[in-house]
Structure 1
Amino acid sequence: MNVAILGNQARAMVNFWSVFIARLQADGHTVVCIIPPGDAEGDAALTSMGVRVRHYPLDRKGLNPVRDVATFAALYRIFRQERPDRLFCFTIKPVIYGATAAALARVPGRVAMITGLGYMFEADTPVKRLLNRVAVLMYRAALACVHTVFFQNEEDRAVFTAKGIVPAGTEVAMSRGTGVALDHFAPAETVTAPVTFLLVGRLIEAKGLYEYAEAARMLKARHPEARFRVLGPPEQGLGSVPMETINQWHREGVIEYMGQTRDVRPFLREASVVVLPSWREGTPCSVMEGMSMARAAIVTDAPGCREVVEDGVNGFMVPLRSPEALAAAMERFIEDPSLVQRMGRAGRDLAEREFDAEKVAAHIMRVMRLDAAPRAGGNPQ
């Protein structure tokens, strides 16, 4: 079958979906990846995997309706030209515009994955509450156009159910995120001196960057040898952390900003503990990758984050938006470095049991029934 995979970044497609793509190809399916332009290196990586790449215009975080109409129209044209048997789409705009465009173009099998609820579901300001209402309506329309919707954690599924977003005729399935490629993210030698913390993520406030910086500031006064690093691409628009703020923290010696990369493994090798004080996730890839490389973790007791850490086993969970609690958890590793190795080993064990990308890919393909004709029934095409 011809399978179209629709996402919002070439980098994410390469980093998180390579195992799924390879599994599809190994089973005899052809794959076309539909992504925005502007990342030649990402395009080349996908092409080298034997997939075809199609581009469409996407303003990832913008709210300009004219641009979003252009996105919808471009996707409709691509679906009409490609005639895929299946569409697999993920992240908010690809789901909303991709699912509806695919239904209009009569793509037979349409599957969406909710990778997290993000900025518009925080609803802690009047603007966010308005955006939340708009997002609910748009998601409701989009998911009426799919046959199956995957969720990465039970909390997100509960939110969509409570708001009546998923129509009664739509199949609901669960997935352990994208999983992690265990061989690619192989265990690395433990780093206990100096204890080095690493936050990997986009530079947005919802990743807990302000809490992380404040916790690092507290600990630097007591443990000047400890290192607090941030790795991730800058963002613009609503909810972003300005680069001038990141650079100021760096100049003050509070954190070390490591820039951005296509390969996080060298940075994970140099880390003792991965930290993600996020407000909400789908299933955090950065933590899964760290676990696979035998790194302990600290996360918030938040949706998605709870999926990857067993408190006291492979890391610690801390209350949401509490720099004090985050600092206390990090200090435990500084004062007892033996925790770094013990919890790191437990993280690798958990990754092998629960988050193997090969198993995740096989599960998604079974739910999509890629070895059978498109199923009858479900929502109207």
Structure 2
Amino acid sequence: MQKLVRITTIPLSLEKLLEGQLTFMNQYYEVIAVSAEKERLAQYGTNNKVRTFWVEMTRAITPLEDIKALVKLYRFFKQEKPLIVHTHTPKAGIVGILAGKLAGVPIRLHTVAGLPLLETKGNKRKILDWVEAFTYRLATRVYPNSFELRKIIVDHGYAKPQKLKVLGKGSSNGIDTGYFDPSQFNQEEKFKLKSELGIPREDFTFIFVGRLVSEKGINELVLSFIELQKSKPDISLLLVGPFEQELDPLDHQVFQNIKSHPKIFTTGYQQDVRAYFSISDVLAFPSYREGFPNVVMQANAMGLPAIVSDINGCNEIIEEGINGMIIPVKDRNALLNSMSEIIENTVLRSKLAQNARKLIQMNYERGLFWENLLKEYKELEALNKHD
């Protein structure tokens, strides 16, 4: 059986972004998962029944460590002789694709799930621009996980259009709508969870799921909510995710507001977010940049309309007035107005909620995405045999 190597910088990306995908591919290829964090990676391999190979990688610019990772991967590829190397995340991309090229791996693929460098400036931005373009140049094919992201890549000159392909309607892994299904939670369970969190039973609840950082629009969300709550006291804001104050801190006052406001509730990082969606009414997701956000698909699959920023990924999953609302990036007033409207306009809210799950099932079902990717691998394999 031919070997397929899948590489991410850290195992969390394998667990979350590619959940179930490597196990599925293991039926057709001998799959090897490569990432950092030795023990967590080994556990991932056991849980998903795939081989693993540990390479220490960092998310920062660390040339010496990167060279060590490159050499280790190069030797591994020479020994294993995989047919396909498929990378995700920027650091895994440059290290994995370059090592694959040097070792003569025939098919070198890279998925782009977002461009963090777009928020960077100065010399660091120049370095990251060069690394991005270099990675794409060495790759056989590059998969932006949204059509808007594909356009951004072309507009910035990182790659020629013919090297880029969006699989299906977008996403890196689709979504399992059998797992994200609101019917799994009954009223009693919902009331119990609300009670445990301290959210009043009848409150209209906005939810955010993700890292509680500036670039996710948390400053705007919290301030909009506080303003809205003054005139609509029976609303709550549920924030599900970790703070990263050392990496991308929230404004000090916003951080304090989250801690002290009686109607803002936090849970920290949660492995399973479905129950939190089940007790909420609307996803508020005013992020500055995304690839193809799983959270928006998850919320829709759980029957929640979403208020999202007009950015790639978000504006492809959400259709204005169909399954959610789209607002300009970093626009606090627009966010406040949309939050207010979705509370008051019950007819609109009901329509958005009814459409939400149907559209996800139609466009982003996980099994369909896996079949699309497998088809892509097999086509590239056939082309490689002819070369």
> TM tier, shorter chain?
0.7 to 0.9
Shift of residue 312, structure 1, vs aligned partner: 0.7
Indicate how the Cα distance of structure 1 residues 374 and 103 shifts in structure 2: closer, same or farther if over 3 A, else same. farther
Shift of residue 309, structure 1, vs aligned partner: 0.5
When the two structures are superposed, what TM-score results if normalisation uses the length of structure 2? 0.86
Question: Within the alignment, does 1:101 sit opposite 2:116 as a pair?
Answer: no
Equivalents in 2 of 1:91, 1:240: separation in Å?
Answer: 22
Match of 1:295 in 2: 304
Deviates further, 65-74 or 359-368: 65-74
- 1:19-168 pair list within 5 angstroms: 19-26=20-27, 28-37=28-37, 40=40, 43-60=42-59, 62-118=60-116, 120-123=117-120, 128-167=121-160
Match of 2:231 in 1: 222
SS at match of 1:228: strand
Indicate how the Cα distance of structure 1 residues 233 and 34 shifts in structure 2: closer, same or farther if over 3 A, else same. farther
Residue identity matched to 2:36: P
- 1:156-235 pair list within 5 angstroms: 156-167=149-160, 171-175=163-167, 176-177=170-171, 178-188=173-183, 193-235=202-244
Deviates further, 282-291 or 94-103: 94-103
Shift of residue 46, structure 1, vs aligned partner: 4.0
Match of 1:11 in 2: 12
Question: Within the alignment, does 1:348 sit opposite 2:357 as a pair?
Answer: yes
Indicate how the Cα distance of structure 1 residues 313 and 82 shifts in structure 2: closer, same or farther if over 3 A, else same. same
Shift of residue 376, structure 1, vs aligned partner: 6.7
Indicate how the Cα distance of structure 1 residues 331 and 240 shifts in structure 2: closer, same or farther if over 3 A, else same. same
Equivalents in 1 of 2:146, 2:208: separation in Å?
Answer: 21
Equivalents in 2 of 1:39, 1:55: separation in Å?
Answer: 9
The answer to whether the 8 Å contact 1:20/1:358 transfers is: no
Deviates further, 340-349 or 268-277: 340-349
Match of 2:3 in 1: 2
Deviation digits for residues 289-321 of structure 1 (CA, Å, limit 9, x no counterpart): 111111111101112210110111111111110
Shift of residue 241, structure 1, vs aligned partner: 3.7
Report the count of equivalent residues. Answer: 369
Equivalents in 2 of 1:63, 1:248: separation in Å?
Answer: 34
Equivalents in 1 of 2:242, 2:140: separation in Å?
Answer: 34
- 1:265-344 pair list within 5 angstroms: 265-337=274-346, 339-344=348-353
The answer to whether the 8 Å contact 2:10/2:57 transfers is: no
Between the two proteins, what is the percent identity of the paired residues? Answer: 24
Deviates further, 281-290 or 6-15: 6-15
The answer to whether the 8 Å contact 2:223/2:254 transfers is: no
Shift of residue 65, structure 1, vs aligned partner: 2.5
Equivalents in 2 of 1:68, 1:324: separation in Å?
Answer: 44
Q: Highest relative contact order (Cα 8 Å, sep 6+), 1 or 2?
A: 1
Deviation digits for residues 321-354 of structure 1 (CA, Å, limit 9, x no counterpart): 0112112111223224454443222110110111
Deviates further, 195-204 or 155-164: 155-164
The answer to whether the 8 Å contact 1:8/1:94 transfers is: yes
Deviation digits for residues 261-312 of structure 1 (CA, Å, limit 9, x no counterpart): 1111121112211121111211111001111111111101112210110111
Shift of residue 12, structure 1, vs aligned partner: 2.7
Deviates further, 241-250 or 13-22: 241-250
Deviates further, 144-153 or 74-83: 74-83
The answer to whether the 8 Å contact 1:232/1:261 transfers is: yes
Equivalents in 1 of 2:153, 2:305: separation in Å?
Answer: 32
Indicate how the Cα distance of structure 1 residues 46 and 199 shifts in structure 2: closer, same or farther if over 3 A, else same. farther
Residue identity matched to 1:4: V
When the two structures are superposed, what TM-score results if normalisation uses the length of structure 1? 0.87
Indicate how the Cα distance of structure 1 residues 167 and 272 shifts in structure 2: closer, same or farther if over 3 A, else same. same
Deviation digits for residues 84-119 of structure 1 (CA, Å, limit 9, x no counterpart): 22111111111122111221122221110110112x
Aligned-CA RMSD value:
2.7
Deviation digits for residues 137-159 of structure 1 (CA, Å, limit 9, x no counterpart): 11111111111101122332222
SS at match of 2:329: coil
The answer to whether the 8 Å contact 2:219/2:254 transfers is: no
Larger-gyration structure (1/2): 2
SS at match of 2:244: coil
The answer to whether the 8 Å contact 2:219/2:251 transfers is: no
Deviation digits for residues 224-265 of structure 1 (CA, Å, limit 9, x no counterpart): 221112122333655344899646522233632210011111
The answer to whether the 8 Å contact 2:97/2:108 transfers is: yes
Q: Structure 2 stretches of 5 or more lacking a match?
A: 191-200
Equivalents in 2 of 1:43, 1:340: separation in Å?
Answer: 45
Q: Structure 1 stretches of 5 or more lacking a match?
A: none
SS at match of 2:238: strand
